């Protein structure tokens, strides 16, 4: 396949010192490489950098309306990628997906209601609800092949008991990397419909399907007959590395739900900043070639991790179709806390406990291969240190 952005673009090691990077400054002054929070150590695509510079040529950054061309650009992108024909009216712009989750809890669940989430899951799913609401944790199940998916039997049993008005999905799934099949999404949506539950689908990782064999079906596409009960949250922030720029969107086909959502945002959530709009428009309209190369690079990084750990009995790298976050079972190390253990060898991972799964770690491999290699070498040294004891 011809790549108009060369793969070695992503080999460039950029220092993020003196940028107040959350990821790197956690270990400032220590010899610990960060592979935790989900942002990438890659420069933004050139068209995005250019769009930001161009917007800065105007010296005012005031309150800003959605650029005229942006809804059409999102519509075209979704049609092209997912065969999803949206009405631009359905779009609600938000400065982040996490605040989009909490607005969902305010809009679609009443005080006293229960909200179902499926751990292990991105930690904000545990705390996006109102204090008058309850989060019910219904764990994913992990097959013998180490693929994680919903436990629909447990879900139905829970829904039968009543009290659940909202399901918060993460699809593709962080931290397990699962891309759910069309059949899985359809079955889940049938249950949601049978028990009159609204489904909010966080699809922030949807454009990061790195396994060439996998296909992502947005919830609203997999089960279009239940469109009216879905709210989809998307963003270019993960795919194009714009997390600090605060631009995301909700897609809400049902007009009543859309109004409820806008009300929930009112007075609590700030508007999207002009630079964020500029970057997002450039990403969705001109970021295609960069993204195509990125997906290849990330898949090669993931395959490299799998290969490095293939003969290491203490570590099991779970299969992954999307995201740049490897989900690793480190229970066989028999250490008290694998995250703390690897940190002491200079590798800063995310603790599985944060997502509801102690004994696991999550490794963010969106970095140049050389950085990844150094991290993997340190992890090997850590594992070997246990063997020689």
Ligand X SMILES: Cc1ncc(COP(=O)(O)O)c(C=O)c1O
Site residues, ligand X (CB under 6 A): 38, 96-98, 122, 170, 174, 202, 204, 235, 237, 243, 248
Residue nearest to ligand X (CB): 96
Nearer to ligand X, 280 or 346 (CB): 280
Q: What is the closest distance, in whole angstroms, from the C-beta atom of residue 176 to ligand X in the complex?
A: 11
Nearer to ligand X, 118 or 133 (CB): 118
Q: What is the closest distance, in whole angstroms, from the C-beta atom of residue 58 to ligand X in the complex?
A: 26
Q: What is the closest distance, in whole angstroms, from the C-beta atom of residue 331 to ligand X in the complex?
A: 23
97 in Cβ contact with 202 (< 8 Å): yes
Q: What is the closest distance, in whole angstroms, from the C-beta atom of residue 382 to ligand X in the complex?
A: 25
172 in Cβ contact with 208 (< 8 Å): yes
DSSP 209: B
Q: What is the closest distance, in whole angstroms, from the C-beta atom of residue 4 to ligand X in the complex?
A: 28
Nearer to ligand X, 333 or 361 (CB): 361
Nearer to ligand X, 241 or 333 (CB): 241
As given in the structure block, the two tokens for residue 239 are 């795919």
Nearer to ligand X, 5 or 328 (CB): 328
Nearer to ligand X, 97 or 260 (CB): 97
What are the beta bridge partners of residue 264? Answer: none
Distance CA 82, CA 217 (A): 7
Nearer to ligand X, 248 or 339 (CB): 248
Q: What is the closest distance, in whole angstroms, from the C-beta atom of residue 129 to ligand X in the complex?
A: 15
At 358, give phi and psi (nearest 5°): -60, 155
Nearer to ligand X, 102 or 301 (CB): 102
297 in Cβ contact with 4 (< 8 Å): no
Distance CA 144, CA 156 (A): 23
With the CA atoms of 265, 269, 272 and 275 taken in that order, what torsion angle do they form, in degrees rounded to the nearest 10? -170
With the CA atoms of 80, 83, 88 and 91 taken in that order, what torsion angle do they form, in degrees rounded to the nearest 10? -100
The full DSSP string for 31-65 is S-EE--SS--SSPPPHHHHHHHHHHHTSS-----P
Q: What is the closest distance, in whole angstroms, from the C-beta atom of residue 21 to ligand X in the complex?
A: 15
Nearer to ligand X, 169 or 282 (CB): 169
Nearer to ligand X, 139 or 289 (CB): 139
As given in the structure block, the two tokens for residue 103 are 């607005």
Q: What is the closest distance, in whole angstroms, from the C-beta atom of residue 336 to ligand X in the complex?
A: 26
38 in Cβ contact with 238 (< 8 Å): yes
What are the beta bridge partners of residue 92? Answer: 250
Q: What is the closest distance, in whole angstroms, from the C-beta atom of residue 204 to ligand X in the complex?
A: 4
What is the helix, strand, coil percentage profile of the chain, to 5? 45, 15, 40
Closest CA to 248 of 265, 224, 227: 265
| Triad 107, 108, 114: Cα angle to 5° | 125
The answer for residues whose C-beta is within 8 angstroms of residue 46's C-beta and 6 or more apart is 290
The full DSSP string for 261-289 is HHHHHTTTSPPPPHHHHHHHHHHHHH-HH
Q: What is the closest distance, in whole angstroms, from the C-beta atom of residue 323 to ligand X in the complex?
A: 8
């Amino acid at each position: 396949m011809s790549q108009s952005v060369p793969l070695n673009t992503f080999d460039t090691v950029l220092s993020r010192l003196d940028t107040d990077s959350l990821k790197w400054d956690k270990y400032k002054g220590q010899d610990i490489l960060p592979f935790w929070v989900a942002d990438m150590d890659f420069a933004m695509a050139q068209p995005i950098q250019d769009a930001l510079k161009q917007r800065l040529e105007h010296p005012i950054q005031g309150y800003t309306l959605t650029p005229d061309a942006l809804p059409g650009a999102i519509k075209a992108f979704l049609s092209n990628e997912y065969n999803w024909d949206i009405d631009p009216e359905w779009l609600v712009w938000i400065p982040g997906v996490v605040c989009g989750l909490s607005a969902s809890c305010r809009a679609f669940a009443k005080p006293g209601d229960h909200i179902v989430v499926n751990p292990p899951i991105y930690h904000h799913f545990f705390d996006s609800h109102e204090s008058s609401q309850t989060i019910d944790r219904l764990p994913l199940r992990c097959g013998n092949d180490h693929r994680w998916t919903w436990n629909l039997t447990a879900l139905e049993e829970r829904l039968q008991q009543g009290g659940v008005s909202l399901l918060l999905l993460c699809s593709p799934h962080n931290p397990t990397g699962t891309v759910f099949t069309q059949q899985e999404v359809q079955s889940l949506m049938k249950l949601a419909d049978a028990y009159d539950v609204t489904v909010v689908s966080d699809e922030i990782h949807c454009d990061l399907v790195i396994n060439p064999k996998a296909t992502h079906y947005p919830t609203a596409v997999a089960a279009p007959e239940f469109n009216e009960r879905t709210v989809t949250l998307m963003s270019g922030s993960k795919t194009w590395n714009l997390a600090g720029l605060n631009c995301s969107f909700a897609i809400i086909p049902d007009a009543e739900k859309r109004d409820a959502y806008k009300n929930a945002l009112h007075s609590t959530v700030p508007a999207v900043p002009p630079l964020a709009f500029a970057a997002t428009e450039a990403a969705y309209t001109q970021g295609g070639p960069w993204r195509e190369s990125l997906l290849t690079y990330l898949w090669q990084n993931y395959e490299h991790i799998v290969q490095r750990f293939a003969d290491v009995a203490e570590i099991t790298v779970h299969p992954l179709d999307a995201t740049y976050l490897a989900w690793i079972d480190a229970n066989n190390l028999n250490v008290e806390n694998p995250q703390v253990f690897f940190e002491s060898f200079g590798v800063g991972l995310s603790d599985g406990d944060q997502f509801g799964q102690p004994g696991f770690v999550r490794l963010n491999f969106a970095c140049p291969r050389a950085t990844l290699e150094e991290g993997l070498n340190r992890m090997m040294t850590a594992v070997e240190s246990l063997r020689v004891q």
